[in-house]
């Protein structure tokens, strides 16, 4: 495969191949990324729509999860000496973790477990939300999409790994996120009752 020079002209002038730490295979993948829709002669619009729908479902369920986390932060902020309310995901998690908010130790253990799950899903969220489509494979009518980010390097390896996902994997992650979000809402309701009575 030949590298498409149109892609290379879109790379910022301050970026060089050594800065991006890209290999030839990755450059070739990038070169073809813009023709994803054009090269999908085997894929039906229904499969592409299913992929987009799965990503959209994941994004909206994650937003609902964060509403539950936001409610916990708001409830805990009412009686807090801290005037600044955290906004970033990890700041909100740290804020809630630092409070041990419930009267019951079992509820505190449950909130700690949920916050741990959210932390473990954060990279998945970043990959699905910020990952660009770099390629696809259609095998036995199962679409596998390759997602990647370029300029957010991994601290250990120097570059982000590419992630290969199917629609069913994204849907499974959405179901897990939806379950956590529902439990967070339940915990926020319980905490609100405990702190207002």
Report in angstroms the alpha-carbon separations of 129 from 52, 124, 138, 164, 175.
11, 8, 22, 14, 16
Three-state DSSP at 144 gives strand
- Per-residue tens of pLDDT for the chain, all 197 residues: 333 334 334 444 444 444 444 454 555 555 554 444 444 444 567 788 899 999 999 999 999 999 999 999 998 888 777 778 889 999 999 998 888 777 788 888 999 999 999 999 998 998 899 888 888 787 788 888 888 877 666 666 666 678 899 999 999 999 999 999 999 999 999 888 888 87
How would you class 3 by CB atoms within 10 Å of its CB: exposed for 0-12, middle for 13-18, buried for 19 or more? middle
Domain residue spans of the chain: 1-35, 42-196
pTM of the model: 0.74
Positive or negative: CA dihedral 61, 62, 67, 71: positive
Specify which residues 142 forms β-bridges with: 139
CB 113 within 8 A of CB 138: no
Who's near 84: CB < 8 A, 6+ residues apart?
Answer: none
């Amino acid at each position: 495969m030949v590298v498409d020079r149109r892609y290379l002209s879109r790379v910022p002038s301050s970026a060089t191949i050594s800065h991006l730490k890209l290999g030839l295979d990755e450059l070739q993948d990038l070169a073809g990324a813009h023709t994803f829709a054009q090269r999908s002669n085997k894929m039906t619009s229904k499969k592409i729509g299913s992929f987009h729908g799965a990503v959209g479902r994941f994004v909206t369920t994650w937003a609902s999860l964060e509403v539950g986390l936001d409610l916990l932060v708001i409830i805990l902020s009412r009686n807090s000496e801290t005037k600044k309310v955290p906004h970033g995901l990890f700041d909100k998690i740290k804020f809630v973790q630092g409070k041990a908010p419930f009267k019951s130790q079992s509820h505190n253990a449950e909130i700690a477990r949920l916050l741990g799950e959210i932390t473990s899903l954060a990279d998945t969220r970043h990959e699905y939300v910020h990952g660009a489509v770099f390629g696809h494979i259609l095998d036995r009518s199962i679409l596998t999409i390759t997602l990647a980010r370029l300029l957010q390097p991994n601290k250990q390896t120097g570059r982000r790994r590419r992630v290969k996902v199917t629609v069913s994997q994204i849907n499974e992650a959405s179901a897990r996120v939806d379950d956590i979000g529902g439990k967070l809402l339940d915990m926020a309701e319980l905490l609100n009752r405990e702190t207002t009575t």
